């Protein structure tokens, strides 16, 4: 019994008013450092649990760069007279007990929001839960682009109160003139975005060093407490609507072994207790459930109230049945909607919004509380919306979400905020009056009146086409059209009979297929899904619109090329057709011009790959790899695969661990084939290469993925100069072959100290023109900061293209004693050296030849050439910033009953 009680969770103390506040501001300005400093100072007073920087900044790669990419929640309390209590308890000063009160104060959930511009959508989700915010501004930079965007978003989402923290990044402290200038600039921005209004209380601005406070500087700790007192005094407790039915917008979903599915979010209204019936609504079918438990900061909550940031454990709900953007509500109290009328302001170019006008049919992302959904804007005929203007328009979302009249929303497109506004739900009568549809092949709703279908079919079947194929084509249309109207797309197989002018032996099937491709794809976006079957030995499949199919079939005479290169007319006639498969309505339009939310895009990546741009990127990657193979084979390199399940090696990032069938033992996934390719040199393969999948267990970013493709090559008895020349010739050959681009060689060589002294960075962008297609390569020696240059000199280099490192290489150590010495300098003890590298050190004892090589990041290089926004575009099924996969939902949770 005593053991059972020990396992019971701590109860949440609801005697203090609860508020949600957030740290917002530009990337690298110190939001996460401030959050850590707050918990450290309050932990000394027993009012918080200390959270280290690494606990808040979760992603491994982001720990290095200091960029938080997802919102993190931190719990703490304040009391009346906080600074006095600190002076007595921590500094030991004699302070009267009446100057503070432990029974008065507040309970806070602090939301540490991302500042990086790639993750503004995560900030929007976090801001949707805030009652107030701390705007963090670096003293070194002042207000920056994301400072202003976060202020704009905070104001539009409805955050009424803000406190400013200026993070002093100087060593000696800021002088008064600088403090005044910073404060004036910040107040100007506050006023611009609707804060610090005339007649209202001025926004408090606290200047301190979060880092010094985190390191225990008592003066800076006192300033952190001044910040918290300013929050208590300036950010008011909002009115909470406890009497309406329960509603919570879902922010995240977790599966907990032995408990079930847990959804998290901020309670918007009403109350919730264990055992209450609830309903999951929006973004798909409804689902009823019962509350199994409620927690906040790992403490059991007896009754959740508005403003509480809680986790709710649901009965009989699978992880895939609920997702971010849905709502948890009292049964029967909310209805999802797809349509609404918007009153919006569209940001101008000067406000970091759109540069050009948009028209009816525009499809941005609409951020509505925790949901972000693609919606189509409908404007009056020939109406356009100019940036910098206010406008009323109608919106139809691709999925229904729970929205209410006068709810705010944010509009985003291509990584920028382009507008904001509020909504008015359309009534059903208003929708019917506005119902105007045109029957066409490429864009029609799933729900359509039967009368409209009949009219549309009769117009099509009435005999618009003429010629020998007319009857069969009309018959094909009639059978396909209903399917296409109802499901939007169909997959068909057509077989044509070749009539006259066709001598099979004089034409290659490839020539015939090429002529078909040229005809169908010339100046045409391949938006719909159809299949062609030619009366030959080979099948050929291509995407194009039904309209194009009919046009193509109606053209009896085709022009094809003979093997000799001459063109010849042939006559064809539709012989038969077959309906293979049909498609439901697509979540987005298959066109390069479509603006798609990134999560939606990669959740339906197989549909995104039908877009010409997506397909062309993967085709270019395939062609580059093939060209590289051709070049290296010409140079007598041998392609050899190396193991994926391997031993870890010190290469600058964490490794992925893979369980084995041997108890308590594991493999690691290789960051590169480094040791194996050196073993191949010892094995007598003097020229090796491999296009290898490699893995780095660190947070992804726009120019990095956790799994990626690397061109790896190694050769024996080669100098550093010879290796560089091989790379120059390889890039010259592949770029000319694939992109028809002349790479200028030899590449310029710059020393590390030259680049740092001249450009203040070790990888400057040396392009000299504004031409976006210009490529600039240069070589710089590679220094390892773990090695003292006075003790050892290594021959290694990086290749930089347009400011991005794309290749590292150099000469290898081929003598055991020297290799052991380097490992010793890298702080590997003798037993560690033997355990991790014993097999390799032993191999070096068998007359290992001098050798060297490089590893070229294929995805990163092609991203520069093809000007993609992210490496994800060059990977068929990529991972997200946190390592998850939108398509498959991986990584999966480990189940106890599985090994």
Give the active site residues.
28, 31-32, 116
CB under 8 A, 24+ apart: contacts of 516-519: 516/540, 516/542, 517/542, 519/552, 519/558
Measured in degrees and rounded to the nearest 5, phi and psi for residue 809 equal: -160, 180
Contact 112, 133 (CB under 8 A): no
| Distances, alpha carbon 49 to alpha carbons 40, 107, 300, 672, in Å | 7, 13, 17, 40
- How far is Cα 209 from Cα 170, in angstroms, rounded to an integer? 8
Contact 644, 669 (CB under 8 A): yes
* β-bridge partners, 112: 23, 72
- Bin 265: left if φ > 0, else alpha if -120 < ψ < 50, else beta: left
Residue 802 per-residue DSSP state: T
Contact 797, 781 (CB under 8 A): yes
Q: What is the 3-state secondary structure (H, E, C) of 326-357?
A: CEEECCCCCCEEEEEEEEEEECCHHHCCCCCC
Q: Shortest CA distance to 323 belongs to which of 373, 267, 263, 246?
A: 263
Contact 865, 739 (CB under 8 A): yes
- How far is Cα 25 from Cα 43, in angstroms, rounded to an integer? 25
Query: Rounded to the nearest 5 degrees, what angle is found at the Cα of 532, between the Cα atoms of 527 and 534?
Result: 155
Burial class (CB within 10 angstroms; exposed 0-12, middle 13-18, buried 19+) of 811? middle
Q: How far is CA 742 from the centre of its chain?
A: 33
Residue 853 token pair: 């090589």
- How far is Cα 138 from Cα 140, in angstroms, rounded to an integer? 5
- How far is Cα 385 from Cα 780, in angstroms, rounded to an integer? 49
Residue 708 per-residue DSSP state: E
Instruction: Give the 3-state secondary structure of residue 193.
Output: coil
First to last CA, the chain: 32
Cis peptide before 891 (omega within 30 of 0): yes
Contact 342, 394 (CB under 8 A): yes
- How far is Cα 737 from Cα 727, in angstroms, rounded to an integer? 15
Strand bridging mode 260-269 / 309-314: antiparallel
Q: Per DSSP, which regions of 615-735 are E strands?
A: 638-639, 657-659, 666-668, 687-695, 707-716
Contact 23, 53 (CB under 8 A): no
- How far is Cα 106 from Cα 577, in angstroms, rounded to an integer? 72
Q: Shortest CA distance to 225 belongs to which of 19, 81, 83, 78?
A: 83
Residue given tokens 């998290």 in the structure block:
264
Contact 607, 590 (CB under 8 A): yes
Q: Shortest CA distance to 799 belongs to which of 826, 770, 775, 773?
A: 775
Q: Please, what's the b/e burial string for 403-432 (b: 16 or more CB within 10 A of its CB; e: otherwise)?
A: beeebbbbbbbeeebbbbbebeebeeeeee
Cis peptide before 746 (omega within 30 of 0): yes
């Amino acid at each position: 019994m005593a053991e059972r009680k020990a396992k019971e969770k701590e109860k949440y103390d609801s005697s203090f008013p609860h508020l949600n506040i957030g740290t917002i501001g530009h990337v690298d300005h110190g939001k996460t450092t401030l959050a850590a400093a707050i918990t450290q100072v309050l932990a000394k007073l027993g009012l918080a649990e200390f959270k280290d920087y690494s606990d808040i900044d979760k992603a491994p790669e982001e720990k290095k760069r200091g960029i938080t990419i997802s919102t993190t929640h931190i719990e703490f309390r304040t009391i009346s007279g906080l600074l006095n209590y600190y002076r007595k308890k921590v500094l030991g000063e004699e302070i009267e007990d009446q100057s503070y009160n432990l029974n008065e104060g507040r309970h806070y959930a602090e939301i540490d929001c991302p500042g990086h511009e790639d993750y503004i959508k995560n900030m929007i989700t976090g801001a949707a839960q805030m009652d107030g915010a701390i705007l963090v501004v670096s003293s070194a930079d002042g207000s920056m682009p994301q400072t202003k965007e976060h202020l704009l978003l905070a104001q539009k989402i409805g955050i009424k109160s803000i406190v400013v923290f200026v993070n002093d990044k100087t060593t000696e402290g800021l002088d008064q003139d600088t403090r005044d200038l910073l404060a004036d600039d910040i107040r100007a921005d506050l006023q611009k975005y609707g804060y610090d209004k005339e007649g209202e209380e001025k926004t408090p601005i606290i200047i301190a060093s979060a880092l010094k406070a985190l390191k225990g500087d008592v003066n800076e700790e006192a300033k952190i407490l001044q910040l918290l007192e300013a929050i208590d005094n300036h950010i008011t407790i909002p009115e909470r609507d406890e009497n309406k039915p329960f509603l919570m917008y879902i922010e995240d979903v977790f599966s907990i072994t032995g408990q079930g599915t847990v959804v998290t979010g901020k309670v918007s209204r009403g109350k919730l207790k264990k055992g209450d019936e609830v309903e999951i609504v929006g973004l798909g079918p409804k689902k009823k459930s019962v509350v199994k438990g409620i927690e906040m900061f790992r403490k059991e909550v007896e009754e959740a109230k508005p403003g509480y940031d809680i986790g709710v454990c649901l009965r009989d709900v699978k992880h895939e049945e609920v997702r971010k953007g849905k709502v948890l509500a009292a049964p029967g109290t909310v209805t999802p909607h797809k349509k609404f009328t918007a009153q919006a302001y569209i940001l101008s170019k000067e406000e970091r919004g759109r540069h050009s006008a948009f028209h009816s049919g525009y499809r941005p992302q609409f951020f509505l509380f925790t949901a972000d959904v693609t919606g189509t804007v409908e404007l009056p005929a020939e109406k356009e919306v100019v940036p910098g203007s206010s406008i009323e328009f109608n919106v139809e979302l691709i999925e229904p979400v729970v929205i209410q009249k006068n709810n705010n929303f944010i509009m985003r497109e291509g990584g920028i905020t382009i507008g904001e506004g509020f909504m008015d739900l359309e009534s059903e009568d208003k929708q019917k009056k506005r119902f105007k549809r045109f029957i066409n092949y490429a864009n029609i709703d799933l729900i359509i009146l039967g009368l409209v279908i009949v009219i549309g079919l009769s117009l099509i079947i009435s005999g618009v086409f003429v010629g020998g194929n007319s009857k069969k084509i009309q018959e094909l249309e009639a059978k396909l059209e209903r399917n296409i109207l109802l499901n939007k797309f169909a997959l068909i197989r057509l077989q044509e009979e070749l009539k006259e002018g066709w001598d099979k032996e004089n034409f290659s099937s490839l020539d015939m297929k090429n002529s078909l491709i040229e005809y169908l794809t010339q100046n045409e976006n391949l938006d719909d899904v159809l299949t062609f079957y030619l009366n030959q030995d080979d099948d050929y499949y291509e995407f194009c619109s039904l309209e194009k199919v009919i046009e193509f079939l109606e053209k009896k005479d085709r022009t094809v090329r003979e093997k000799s290169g001459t063109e010849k007319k042939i006559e064809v006639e539709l012989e038969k057709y077959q309906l293979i498969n049909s498609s439901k309505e697509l979540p987005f339009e298959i066109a390069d011009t479509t603006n798609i939310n990134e999560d939606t895009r990669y959740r339906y990546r197989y549909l995104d790959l039908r877009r010409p741009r997506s397909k062309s990127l993967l085709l270019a990657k395939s062609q580059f790899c093939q060209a590289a193979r051709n070049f290296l084979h010409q140079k007598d390199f041998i392609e050899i695969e190396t193991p994926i399940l391997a031993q870890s090696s010190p290469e600058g990032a964490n490794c992925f661990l893979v369980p084995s069938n041997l108890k308590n033992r594991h493999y690691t996934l290789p960051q590169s084939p480094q040791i194996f390719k050196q073993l191949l040199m010892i094995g007598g393969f003097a020229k090796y290469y491999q296009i290898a999948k490699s893995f780095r267990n660190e947070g992804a970013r726009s120019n990095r993925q956790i799994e990626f493709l690397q061109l790896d090559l190694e050769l024996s008895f080669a100098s550093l100069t010879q290796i560089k020349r091989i790379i120059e010739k390889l890039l010259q050959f592949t770029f000319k072959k694939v992109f028809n681009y002349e790479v200028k060689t030899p590449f310029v060589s710059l020393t590390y100290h030259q680049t740092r002294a001249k450009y203040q960075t070790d990888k400057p962008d040396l392009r000299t023109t504004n031409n976006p297609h210009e490529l600039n390569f240069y070589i710089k020696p590679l220094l390892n900061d773990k090695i003292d240059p006075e003790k050892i000199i290594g021959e290694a280099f990086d290749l930089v293209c347009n400011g991005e490192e794309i290749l590292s290489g150099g000469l290898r150590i081929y003598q055991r004693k020297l290799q052991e010495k380097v490992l010793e300098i890298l702080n590997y003890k003798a037993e560690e050296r033997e355990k991790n590298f014993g097999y390799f050190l032993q191999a070096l004892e068998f007359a290992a030849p001098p050798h060297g090589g490089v590893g070229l990041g294929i995805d990163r290089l092609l991203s520069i050439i093809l000007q993609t926004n992210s490496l994800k575009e060059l990977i068929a099924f990529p991972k997200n910033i946190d390592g998850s996969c939108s398509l498959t939902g991986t990584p999966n949770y480990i189940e106890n009953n599985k090994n």
